[in-house]
Structure 1
Amino acid sequence: MSPCCWLALLALVPFALATNPGVKVKLTEKGIEYGKQIGMASLQQKLKTMKVPDLSGTERVAPIGKVKYSLTGITIVNLGLPYSALALVPDTGISLSITNAFISLHGNWKIRYLSFIKDSGSFDLEVNGLTVTDSITIKSDETGRPTVSSVNCVANVGSASIKFHGGASWLYNLFSVYVDKALRSALQKQICPLVADTITDMNPHLKTLNVLAKVDKYAEVEYSMVTSPTISNASIDFSLKGEFYNIGKHQEPPFSPTPFSLPHQVNNMLYIGMSAFTTNSAGFVYNNAGALSLYITDDMIPPSSPIRLNTRTFGAFIPEIAKRFPSMMMKLLVKTVKEPTIFFEPNNVTVQASGSVTAYAIQPNTTLSPLFVLNMEGSVSARLYVTGVKLAGAVTLNKIEMTLETSYVGQFQVRSLDNIFLMVLKVAVIPKVNARLEKGFPLPSIGKMNLVNTQLQVLKDYMLIGTDVQFTG
């Protein structure tokens, strides 16, 4: 488990010009508690690396007189952080507090007194009542990604008790009067720099944030922050751009995100609200890229179907086709004429699409002869779900309405072709759409982040993903 990634959830993305977000993210107290557990494990390991310097000197100790002493090979054998807390400071950052921490050390002692008497042995030292307070700030670096740093760290080592193995009882007087303070000071000076190092070690993990995530060869989605995070006593709320762009060409769509608010839910660590603006910006991008078009040929129709894409089938409804293009195969071009529109209503996702269908006869020399062009208004219902750290979906056809735009084979009743085109859409177009939707697109994520216990709700004008988080690797 990566011990650092969790704090990236506290600083998801960099600052940008303020605008309404397409995506909102809420980190709850449950998520902060998970982060604390990981962070404390990392800090504990870091503190165990403290190097306690050898201590030596010459002092007068009753009743012996002048004593030359040295404490060497001091190593940490145990360290505990039993009580720790992270608290949100509204509009400021995060406060860290550690109380009643303890350190167990082992080392060797050596003394010389009365000019010729030497003695030595080992000792065990218990340091108790260690406290640390610190503040964690979140800023944006020059690349537009977040960085965290430690400010106002204060450490205090409470008390120390020692047990000498071997030696006389007056050794304890030597320790309590001369060594105790120096030893605690040596430890105390190292704690805050190590706390700062632990926090700084998070920054390489923050750089894995997918501020601009590639979706496929056509699109990428941007999750940059549009305002500073809103920090309350109970959660941190982030406003992310949440907008799709054509790769290498960031063109704004002819519509803007509208304000929305996340409901007060606290059962999960993280809540991601994605507005209809984000999904509609995807439609705008794919339509601009020409990706919402599909040629349909007869080999895409199930062999068992009595309806074939040939002039014989269509000639039964439009005699001029059979007359002018006998015994020829056909090809259909289905494409959108503008970006589809996605509507979020409670427990319901609907996509409205405007398109066209152009029918061609395939000549023996493979030349395409246009037969007619239909305008098509269609509606599908969508089912959305989370897979891994992606949002995926599937659609089912609701209805289509077609009108004649152009005919090269005379006038005909478009309604007579309804069943044919319903079948073509269901067996050829919808499966292709679902195959693409099944691949999904990335959600905001950091490093090797996994989403668990995930639930998705569709609400008015946005969908809400509630999830817990685990980091691996």
Structure 2
Amino acid sequence: MKHGVQVGMKIMEEMAKEIVIPDLKGSESLEFLKIDYVKYNFSNIKINAFSLPNTSLAFVPGVGIRALSNHGTANISANWDVRAPLFVLYNSFAEPMEKPILRNLNEMLCPIVMDQVEALNVNISALEVLTKIDNYTVLDCSLLSPPEVTENHLDLNLKGAFYPLESLVDPPFLPAPFELPENRDSMLYIGISEYFFKSASFAHFVTGALEVTLSTKEIAEIYILSQPFMLQIMATGPPVVNLHSNNFSLEFPAAVIMLTQLQNSTTVEHIVSMDFVSLGIQGGSLWAPILFLLGITGQQPLGVWSEG
């Protein structure tokens, strides 16, 4: 909260310097000097410095966050013109004249500051909730419900879903509800559900991000034959992430296909393909049931099952 106050005050101080203040004109009567009027005109008013040193934030249940501040100060410069009889007695009536002028200035500045705060709220509300992650996906971090405010904390229920860059269609599964622990001794808690990871894997799978093809040129250092060769590595389904207590598992169905092009032919043929039915990581160990499909020209593929 204190850090939030410091950041917010710096923003307010910078915003105050950019405020365009209209000219202030008026007149006041000084009865004790029997002067009917004192005309004043302040133009080119600028805020050079603005400070709210005693500011605090507090949670208000059912309302939001309340900001409390007092003893604010501002350094203001202006071109001013004061006209009145007996102006030579300026020092005598300067102090009583300051009060009405400051009152008028305060009445003019407060709405301007409030407008700036409201504009800040509007800008925050209009911030982009879609963040481009890579050339394939975007992340939606929009609020699913209004922030929940209690006396001790603020809860933000964010969507946290990945989408293909060109299509904001929800994935074919729903998020399961979950709750943060009641014991809240730390300043910040972040909860991430399986839906976050599953939507990421689904979006990357449907966009083709989990597929790569290596040509002869790219693997020339390890390929010694003369005929053209290609190696395709691809996911055959969306990777599945399962979260457990103090652990997680990852299932990654994938395939590796080796292809070649025979001499004097435009036909591309399989040499061998390996289907990883489920390449998994769990508890720090790697396990992979593998189905080998050995393709031989003119022959039926030979299937070999292996699990390791």
- The TM-score, its normalising length taken from structure 1, stands at 0.51
Q: What is the rounded CA distance, in whole Å, between the counterparts of 1:48 and 1:83 in structure 2?
A: 25
State the distance in 1 between where 2:300 and 2:35 align.
Answer: 120
The answer on 1:249 being equivalent to 2:167 is: yes
Matched with 1:356 is 255
Alignment of 1:365-384 (within 5 A): 365-379=265-279
Correspondence 1:295-374 to 2 at 5 A: 295-301=213-219, 303=221, 305=222, 308=223, 328-345=227-244, 350-364=249-263, 365-374=265-274
Aligned pairs for 1:82-93 (under 5 A) are: 82-93=53-64
Which letter does structure 2 place at the counterpart of 1:331?
Answer: M
Equivalent residues of 2:292, 2:305 under 8 A apart: no
- Report if the CA contact (8 A) 1:341-1:351 is conserved: yes
1:192/1:256 Cα in 2 relative to 1: closer, same or farther (>3 Å)?
same
CA distance in 2, matches of 1:99, 1:86: 13
Rounded Cα–Cα distance in structure 2 between residues aligned with 1:293 and 1:347: 31
CA distance in 2, matches of 1:217, 1:105: 49
Deviations, residues 161-197 of structure 1 (Å, cap 9, x unaligned): xxx2xxxx5x47xx64xx4663343134224312212
| CA–CA distance in structure 2, aligned partners of residues 301 and 347 of structure 1 | 40
Q: How far does the alpha carbon of each residue in 1:345-379 deviate from its partner, in whole angstroms, 9 at most, with x for none?
A: 56655431112333333211242123454331343
Which one of 103, 107, 120 corresponds to residue 88 of structure 2?
Answer: 120
Equivalence for 2:212: 294
Structure with larger RCO (C-alpha < 8 A, sep 6+) = 1
The answer on 1:94 being equivalent to 2:65 is yes
Cα distance in 2 between the residues matched to 1:121 and 1:380? 90
Rounded Cα–Cα distance in structure 2 between residues aligned with 1:218 and 1:78: 46
Q: Helix, strand or coil for the counterpart of 1:357?
A: strand
Structure 1 Cα separation of the partners of residues 11 and 141 of structure 2 = 25
State the SS of the aligned residue for 1:201. Answer: helix
Select 1:282's aligned residue among 195, 200, 206: 200
How far did residue 285 of structure 1 move? 1.9
Q: 2:110 aligned with 1:192, yes or no?
A: yes
Compute the displacement of 1:47 (Å).
Answer: 7.6
Of residues 23, 26, 32, the one that matches 1:61 is 32
Counterpart code for 2:234: K
- Is 2:293–2:304's contact at 8 Å kept on the other side of the alignment? no
- Asked if 1:33 is matched to 2:5, the reply is yes
2:71 is paired with a residue whose SS is: strand
Aligned residues: 298
CA distance in 1: counterparts of 2:49 and 2:235, whole angstroms: 67
Mapped to 2, the partners of 1:198 and 1:49 lie a distance apart of 12
> 1:109-188 alignment to 2 at 5 Å?
109-112=82-85, 118-120=86-88, 164=91, 169=92, 171=93, 176=96, 179=97, 182-188=100-106
- The 1:105/1:288 distance shift into structure 2, 3 A limit, reads closer
Question: TM (normalized to structure 2)?
Answer: 0.74
**Corresponding letter in the other structure for 1:363:** L
Given that 2:55 and 2:68 are in contact with CA atoms closer than 8 Å, whether structure 1 keeps it comes out as: yes
Q: Which one has a larger percent strand, Structure 1 or Structure 2?
A: 1
**1:127-179: CA deviations, max 9, x gaps?**
xxxxxxxxxxxxxxxxxxxxxxxxxxxxxxxxxxxxx2xxxx5x47xx64xx4
Contact between 1:309 and 1:331, CA under 8 Å: does it hold in 2? no
Conserved 8 A contact 2:52-2:69 = yes
Following TM superposition, by how much is the alpha carbon of 1:225 offset from its aligned partner in structure 2, in angstroms? 1.7
1:22 corresponds to: none
Match of 1:240 in 2: 158
Partner residue of 1:398?
286
Structure 1 alignment gaps of length 5 or more:
1-28, 113-117, 123-163, 311-326, 383-395, 423-473
Worse overlay, 199-208 or 367-376? 199-208
Please report how far the alpha carbon of residue 86 of structure 1 lies from its aligned counterpart in structure 2 after TM superposition: 2.8
Read off the aligned partner of 2:252 and give its amino acid letter: A
One-letter identity of the residue aligned with 1:375 = D
CA contact (8 A) 2:27 2:37 kept: no
- SS of 2:87's equivalent in the other structure is strand
Contact 1:108 1:121 in 2 (8 A): no
- Identical-residue share of aligned pairs (%): 21
Change (3 A) 1:99 1:401: same
Q: Which amino acid aligns with 1:215?
A: I
Three-state SS of the structure 2 residue aligned to 1:250 is coil
Structure 1: distance between partners of 2:135 and 2:293: 32
2:128 to 210, 217, 241: 210
SS for the counterpart of 1:352 is: strand
